[in-house]
Chains A and B, each alone.
Chain A
Amino acid sequence: MNTKVHKDFHGALSCAFQFLEERYGKKDLQKFLERVGENCYLNLINEVKSNGLLALEEYWRRIFTLEEGIFEVERNNDSLTLKVKRCPAITHLKEVGYPIYKDFCIQTRIVNNIIARETNLICSVESNQEEACCIQKFWRAK
């Protein structure tokens, strides 16, 4: 069975970010990504509402395995941490030679913020785009 996924789509997304910033400014890029979070991640948001951080853990494990990222996930009762040691999107773009939008990781910050806002969680993202790594956290408000 063909298990490969079409990673070139990350390049098209990077190109879309560049277009939005060039033509309409970074605020519109942010607005667009907020819409993506609200409309495209509704199923995940509902799963997190129903099943808590476990749903997010399963989601991360599924997509980062599918995309062949190198990562670790740690979960306890109140928090979930994803350590991305090799981001599959940035790695692919570098390997193929596609231009990478200067703030490519904005997608993670904004989409995670929307997921957190909609599920009454708190989140943080520390990313190093050059090194293709990041640490993403979600935790319950005290």
Chain B
Amino acid sequence: MISCTEFILAYNELFSFLEENYGKQAVIEFWEYISEEFLVNLDRLVREKGIKGMEEYWTHTLTEEKADYEMTVKINEFEIYMKKCPSIDILNNTGVKKYPSYCEHCDLLYRRIIERYGFFYNIEFIDREKGICRLTVKKRR
């Protein structure tokens, strides 16, 4: 069993494997597949509860992943300021070769779902090496 604590290493390895063998488009197609086939719980939460659903989803996942972050929830806005991304922390501390575009999956995976339900989605990669970023969602007027 690949432990869930080792998943990030395998995930990172898969991105590299796909790009080396089939090009960047294959990586993008994998992210699209994960977004559609795996993130069904996020899709349901955003569809049913909007911003409250985002809060519920990320509170659960980021707590289990032991992320260092600040979350801001308003009626029409949602923000995660990631101070230390747990995935980047794992990649930095295990000596594996980091897939150069690793952070981009967080843009594609979640944007596809969140924008589907009438929100603007933005993610600013402040420091990819340290795992600092800001995810912002706003309700469309």
Residues of A within 8 A of B (CB): 2, 4-13, 15-16, 18-20, 23-24, 28, 31-32, 35-36, 39-43, 63, 66-67, 84, 87-89, 98-99, 107-108, 111
Contact = CB atoms under 8 A, between A and B. Distances in A.
The A interface, classified by DSSP as helix, strand, loop or mixed, is helix
Contacts of B96: 39-40
Contacts of B17: 31-32, 35
Nearest to B2: A107
The B interface, classified by DSSP as helix, strand, loop or mixed, is helix
B33 A15 contact: yes
Contact of A28 (B8, B9, B21): B21
Contacts, number: 98
Interface string B51-74: 000000000010111100000000
A107 B63 CA distance: 27
Closest 8 CB pairs of A and B: A9-B7, A6-B64, A40-B9, A9-B4, A63-B3, A15-B38, A19-B33, A36-B10
Contacts of A20: 14
B4 A89 contact: yes
Contacts of B34: 12, 15-16, 19
Contacts of B30: 16, 19
Contact of A6 (B2, B38, B65): B65
Given A6-B65, A36-B13, A39-B13, A108 B1 contact: yes
Nearest to B4: A9
